[in-house]
Amino acid sequence: MRSAVRRLTLALMIVASLLTLFLMVMIAGDVLLRYATGSGFRGSTEVAEVILPAVAYLAMAYTQRRGEHVASSVVLDRLPTRPARMLHSAGMVVVTAFLAVLLLVTTESAIDSANIRESRYGLLGLAVWPTRILLAIGLLALLLENLADTWECVRSSNKKGSGVQVVPGAPETQGGS
Amino acid sequence: GSDGGVANQDQITFKYATYQPENSTDAKVAKWWFERVDELTPNHELDVKMFYSGSLLPPDDTLNGVASRRADAALFATSYHPKELPLSQIATVPFLSTSAEASARVHAEMYENNEAFREEFKRNGLVPLVWAVVPNNTLGFVDPVDSVDDLDGKKIRAVGISAQALEAKGAEVVALPATDLYESLEQGVIEGFSTLIFTNAVLGFNVAEVAPNLVDSGLGQYVLATQVVMNADLYEGLPDEVKGAMGQAAEEALDFSLKETQAEGELACDRLQELGGSVTTFPEDEVSAWKDGLFEGLLDQWSESASESPDLTEDAIEEFESEYLEAMSERSGEAAPDILTECANRG
Amino acid sequence: MRAIQQQEGLGSTGCPWGSRDARRILKMSLALIVVTVFMLFFLLLMSAVPVAFCLGVSGGIGIWLLDGQEVMSASLASIPLTSSARYGLVVLPMFILMGVLLAETGIARDLYRTAERSVGRLPGGLAGATVFACTIFGGVSGSSTADAATIGRISIEEMRRNGYRPEYAAAVVAAAGTIAVLIPPSIILIMYGVITGESVGALLLAGLVPGCMMGLAFFAYAVTVGLRGRDRALSVHTSQLPASERHAGNGATRSRNRGDGEKNSLTNYLSLLYALVLFGVVLGGIYLGVFTSTEASAVGAATALALGVIAIRSPTRSLEMLRTAVPHAVSTVGMIFAILLGGTIFTYFLISAGVPASFTTWILEMELPSELVVIMLLATLIPLGMFLDGLSMMLVTVPLSYPVVTALGYDGVWFGVLVCVLIEVGLLTPPVGLNVFVISGLPGAPRAEQIFVQVLPFVLIQLLLVALFMLFPDLVTWLPSRAQST
Ligand code: NA
Ligand code: NA
C-alpha cells in the first residue's frame, strides 16, 4: 500500500518537474524569440495559467513526503510525549478529513468541467478541464500520503517510545528520491 | 437552501460582489440600483454588503460564485464562460455594435423575448437583472496610430474574438491580464493594448499614461455583461413587491448608468488631454473594408462554437442571431454616441 | 437601507445575513464565529500539522459556520484553481528553481568561499562572509525558516571549525537569513504583491537598498564583535588553517557535485562572476525594462541553468544536478502553493465575514496618529513569529493591515518592505522565534535559549533600520520610482 502511494507520488513529482522545466523554456524562449524576431509565442501566458496549477498540485504529495510542508512544533515540543502524540494524531486526523472533503469537491467540479469541456477566456480558448483533473489527482496523492502518515502517527501514539517526529520546515530531512 | 435571504419579515440581505474598484462606474451603478430598489419597497428593508475589487469573487469565478451563493449577486462578464453561455458570446464579435446604449437595450429586450437566451442564464442558476453599459473597445498605443494599416506588425494586448480582427491586419497579439498592461507597455513588451473601455484605460488602469495615443477603431463592443446578476433560487424566493421594484429600478438604472458613463467619459477625456494624449478615429472607409473581409466569418465562427453546445439547436441559434442583429441595427440609430467617439470629436 | 458598506460586521449579534443553515441552527453571532475560527486555527497549529492545512481547515469551517455547507463546498471546489491559475504567480516556481539551481551547482558554496577568502582576514570575517553569502542566496524558497536550515547546515559548522562559539555562529545564520528576504528575488515580497496587487517588479527593486543596508549593518556588527573579543567570536583566522580542514565534512548535498579538493581561487572568483551575471540579468532586466518581472523569473532560471552547466563542465553531472535540483524546487513549489491555498480559504472566510472592512473602520475611527497605527500594525507581527512562518504570517495579517495603511495614504510598496523586515524580526525574537528554533534543531547546534541571547543585537539593528525607513521612506521607494520613470 505504502509503496504504491510512493510510486504515485514520485510519478506526479516527475510530471510536475517536467512541466516546470517546460514553463521555464516556454517563457524564457518567448522573451528570446521576441527579442530576435520581434514576435513571441502566441498565447504563452494562457498556457502558463493552465500549467501552473497542475505543477503546484501535482507537487504537494511529494512535498508532504519530504516533510517540507511548513509546520510549527514549538508547543508540541514542550508537552510530555504522550499528550503530544495524541494532540498531533488528532491534528493529523482533522487534516486528513479536510483533504478528503477537498478531494471530493474538486473531483466533482473536475467532472462537471469535463462534461461541458470548460475552456478559458483569452486568445486560444484553452481547455481548463484537464488542469482540474490533474489538480484532483494531485490532491488524491496528497490525501493518500497524509493518510499513511496519519496511520503511522496514530499507531505510534498508542505505543511507548521516544518523542514525536515532527520536522518544521526543515528541508532534506526525510530524503528526496 | 432557497430561503430567499429573508432573515426577518421585512429585512432582506444581499452580498454583492464586483471585480471593479469602489470608485468605478460599475460599482456606483450597482449601489444606486440597490438603493433604488430599497426606496421602491416600503415594506422591505434591503441590507447590502458590497465587496469590491474582486475581494469576494475573481471575475472568472463569478458564475460559480453566484450559482452557489458565495455571493448573492454580482457584476458579471459572460466572456469568461464561453462554454456555459454560448449565445452571449455573440457580443464578442467585432464590428457588431458601436453603441453601448444600443447594446444594453438590445440585451434587455432579447432577454424578454428570446427563450434560448433566457434559458442560457437559467441553466446556470442565474438571473440577469441590470444590463451593463459597455463602451467601445478602446485601442491605445505608445506611438501614434492613424490608420488601420498602421496596425501591421504592432504588438498588441488583446483577448477574445476581436483579437482576430487585429491579427487580420498583421498585428502581433499577446494575451496579458489587464493588471500587467502598465508594466508591459512601459517596458516595450507590447506596443499597444485593446479590449479595455475608455474610462478604465485612462482612469482605472492608468495605461494612457504610457500609451496616450488612443484609437476609436470601429471594433465596437466586445463583451456582454450584466451589472447585477442574481442567484436564480434567491430571486425566485423574493416577495413580489421586491421583484417588481427590481424590474423598475433596472430600467431606471440603465439611464443612470448611461449618464454616469458619459460623466466619467468626460473626466477621462480631460485627463487624457492633461496627459498630452488624444483619440484618433480610423477613417470610415478603411473600417468598412476591414469589416467586410471579416465580419461574416467571425459571426459564423461564433455560431459554430455555439452549435457545439448540447443545449442549443441550430434553429435556436439562427433565430437568436437574426433577432439580435435586427434589434441591434434598429437600436443603433437612436442611441447616444460612445464616450470614446465623443472624446475624439472634442478635438 | 442600512449601511451599504460591509461596515457593521463584528459587533452585530442579530445575524443580519446569517440566513444560512449552519448559523441559524447554531445561533452563533458573527463575532463568536470569528473567535472560534481563530481559536481552531491556533489549536491546530499547536498540534504541529502543516500551517497550510491549519489555515484551510479553520477557514473552511468558518465558511461553513457563516454560510452553510453548500457555500463551503463551492468555495473549496473553486479556490484551488482560482488561487493558482494566475500568470503573475509564475514568478514563484521560476525564482525557486533559479535559487535551487544555484545552490545545487555549487555556485553558492563557491561564493561563500570567495567571501571567506576576501574578508576572512578581518576580525569576525567569517561571520561577515556568512552574512554576505546568505544575503545573495537566501530568500528564494519562500520560507526563511527553511533557508535558515539550509544555509545553517553549511555555515554553522564552518564557523565552529574556525573557532566561533556555536551559539554566536547560529545567531549569525539566523539573522543573516533574514536579509535574503529583502534582497531580490524574495518569495515573501512577491507574495505581498500577489495579496495586495502591488507591482511585483517595484517590490523586488524596493527591497534592494534596505536589504543591502541591513547586510552592511550586520557585517559591521560582525566585525565589531570580532574586534572586541575572542571570547565571543573568532579566535583563529581562516587563512591559518589548511583548506581541507576548513571545508571538509560538512555533509551538505551541495558538495556532492564537485570534488572539494580541486578548488582554487580562480573558480571561486568565477562563481562570483556567475552570481553577478545572474543578478545583473534579472534585476537589470526589470530595472531597464527589457522584460517584465514575471518574465525575469523564467529568464533567471534559464540563466542559472546555463551557468550551472558551464560551471559543472560535464553533461552527465549536469543531468545529475538537474535531477536533484528540479524535484527540490518542485517540492518547495508544493509547499508554497499549499500555503497559498490555505491562506486563500482563510482570507475568503475573513472577507466574507467582513472582518477586514470592520477592522479598517475600527482602526480609522480611533483617529490615532497615522505613524502610531503603522507601528502598531507592524508590532503585531512580532508575537506571531512564535507560531507562523513568514509566508503564513503575511497571508494572515496583510489582508487586514494593507487596507488600513493605504487608507491612511501610505505607499503600499514601502509598507511591504517594512512588513517583510518585521516578519523576520518576529522569526528571531524570544521567547520563541521560529527561525531560531529550527536552527537549534540542526545537528550540533546549541539550545535555542543560548542563541536568543546572541541574536538580540541583530534584532536591535533591524528595529533601528525600521525606524530609519519610516523616517526616510525614500530609502525604500527611490529605486522602484526611478525604474518607472526611465
Ligand atoms: Na425598502
Ligand atoms: Na533573496
Following DSSP, what letter does each residue of A45-80 receive, concatenated?
Answer: HHHHHHHHHHHHHHHHHHHHHTT-S----TTGGGS-
pLDDT tens digit string along C375-413?
989 988 888 877 777 888 888 889 889 989 998 999 999
Q: Is the pLDDT of residue C247 over 50?
A: no
Q: Is the pLDDT of residue B113 over 60?
A: yes
- Is there a contact between C92 and C187 (Cβ–Cβ < 8 Å)? yes
Q: Is the pLDDT of residue A133 over 60?
A: yes
Q: Mean pLDDT score of chain C, rounded to an integer?
A: 78
For the CA atoms of C32, C34, C39, C44, the dihedral, rounded to the nearest 10 degrees, stands at 140
- Is there a contact between A54 and A19 (Cβ–Cβ < 8 Å)? yes
Specify the pLDDT at position C137: 64
The DSSP code sequence of C80-96 is HHHTT--GGGGHHHHHH
Specify the pLDDT at position C80: 97
Give dist(CA C403, CA A173) in Å, integer: 39
Ligand closest to B39 (CA) is 1
CA B239–ligand 1 middle distance (angstroms) = 12
Minimal CA separation from A83 to chain B, in Å: 39
* Residue appearing with cell numbers 497550510: C52
Give dist(CA A76, CA A73) in Å, integer: 5
CA C130–ligand 2 middle distance (angstroms) = 14
Specify the length of chain A in residues.
177
Q: Is the pLDDT of residue C243 over 50?
A: no
Q: Is the pLDDT of residue A162 over 60?
A: no
- Is there a contact between B287 and B294 (Cβ–Cβ < 8 Å)? no
Q: What is the mean pLDDT of residues B76-95?
A: 94
Cα A167 to Cα A27, A161, B61, C430: the distances in Å are 35, 18, 37, 20
Query: In chain C, what residues touch A154 (CB-CB under 8 Å)?
Result: none
pTM: 0.86
Interchain CB contact of A124 with B (< 8 Å)? yes
- Is there a contact between B151 and B166 (Cβ–Cβ < 8 Å)? yes
More confident residue, C77 or C315: C77
Give the pLDDT band (50/70/90) at residue B30: very high
| Residue B218, all three cell numbers | 470601429
The 3-state DSSP class for residue B132 equals: coil
Give the pLDDT band (50/70/90) at residue C314: confident
Interface test with A, best of B19, B85, B174 (most A CBs within 10 A): B174
| Residue C410, all three cell numbers | 501610505
Specify the pLDDT at position C255: 33
Q: What is the mean pLDDT of residues C189-195?
A: 86
Q: Which of the residue ranges B48-62, C260-274, C378-392 would you say has the lowest mean pLDDT?
A: C260-274
Interchain CB contact of B155 with C (< 8 Å)? no
Give dist(CA A109, CA A101) in Å, integer: 13
More confident residue, C260 or C459: C459
Q: Is the pLDDT of residue C132 over 70?
A: yes
Three-state SS sequence of C287-327: HHCCCCHHHHHHHHHHHHHHHHHHHHCCHHHHHHHHHHHHH
> Percent of chain A having pLDDT more than 70?
88
Q: Is the pLDDT of residue C439 over 60?
A: yes
- Is there a contact between A163 and A84 (Cβ–Cβ < 8 Å)? yes
Q: Is the pLDDT of residue C264 over 60?
A: no
Q: Is the pLDDT of residue C139 over 60?
A: no
* Residue appearing with cell numbers 497549529: C45
More confident residue, C373 or C486: C373
Ligand closest to C424 (CA) is 2
CA angle C39, C42, C48 (to 5 degrees): 145
Element (H, E) at B156: strand B155-157
Interchain CB contact of A174 with B (< 8 Å)? no
Query: In chain C, what residues touch A171 (CB-CB under 8 Å)?
Result: 141, 146, 149-150, 328, 331-332
Specify the length of chain B in residues.
347
Give dist(CA B193, CA A158) in Å, integer: 64
Give dist(CA B274, CA C375) in Å, integer: 38
Neighbours, chain C (3 or more CB pairs < 8 A): A, B
Specify the pLDDT at position C460: 92
| Residue A3, all three cell numbers | 509503496
- Residue B21: other Cβ atoms inside 10 A: 12
Give the pLDDT band (50/70/90) at residue C483: low
Three-state SS sequence of C215-234: HHHHHHHHHHHHHHCCCCCC
Comparing CA positions, the residue from B111, C255, C325, B39 lying closest to residue A13 is C325
Q: Mean pLDDT score of chain B, rounded to an integer?
A: 91
Element (H, E) at A3: helix A2-37
Contacts made by residues A2-5, CB under 8 angstroms, sequence distance 24+? A2/A148, A5/A141, A5/A144, A5/A145, A5/A148
